Structure 1
């Protein structure tokens, strides 16, 4: 594993290919209160690229261009939150995308353990260390432990995605998964508008 760390933005000519794994780190889990602090990316080649964002201006044109590029597929785990955070703080629509958490829930119906750690352990055979998950991502300098944690969240998403696609195809659920991925933009908009805890499709 090699971790490349950047301040503010990605290098101008960095090419991560047509499919990029992505994750974000924030000060908390509130869309209305907490700041977006870090975005990490991987091409699935054993390299991770970690961008510590400059707040509050979020001047990162290269990162924004990559995230909003319609020709680059973005792989997330729990894309609903990351997409909403990028919409709120970076003012971009992140698409197209593949969410391994949604895919896991549609494919791995034999378990209720759909967190990244459990999914990667089963599908990829890697044990992730989640110790830094709740650390201070707004710090002016990220520690080596934080960088390693951020990298681990994206390094194995390509492999997990391929395993999940095979399972979804086997169960005849790939098309419904793709429809869910497309709906995530609307779901994120609803979250940002205040409907995060209410199922507007429910009868009650």
Structure 2
């Protein structure tokens, strides 16, 4: 279920209008996503809740980059990464309820080192989600170090143009238990209790 949740969470994250070409690429924070998951009974309360915090980099002709941190009331936590190859794609303005993915190969290049991986590819949105849990950490560490990262998929190499660290990125790193050494204040779920949940999965 968690692999499915990660994929759906990546697709339900709100899309924002593309920035003007002249605007610099910076990390911006999206609205938090609180997702209720109830797959075993017809009760009103979800089996668990999943909070997803998202930061995004977009603009220019480069792919749209997204890092997200997912925490559930059941104790699961994950750092996730996705890239939308076509920054002008408008699929998420009217996204399907059940997106279909197929798997493709890609090669990420960092500091002259190549990392072949498999990705889930959603053709309608041109979004890629890595199947390996190492990829999000690789991207996160590249931002911390200021590395240039390129990704070759479908016969084309693209510069991911990762922005430098800013206050948004630092706040995200401090919030996420995957990147802050495991610290997370579970009271945040109570604070968000009155927030509208995304549709149950």
Fold match, TM over 0.5? Answer: no
Decide which structure has greater strand share.
Answer: 2
More helix as a share of residues: 1
Higher relative contact order (CA 8 A, sep 6+): 1
- Taking structure 1 as the reference length, the TM-score comes to 0.31
TM-score by length of 2: 0.31
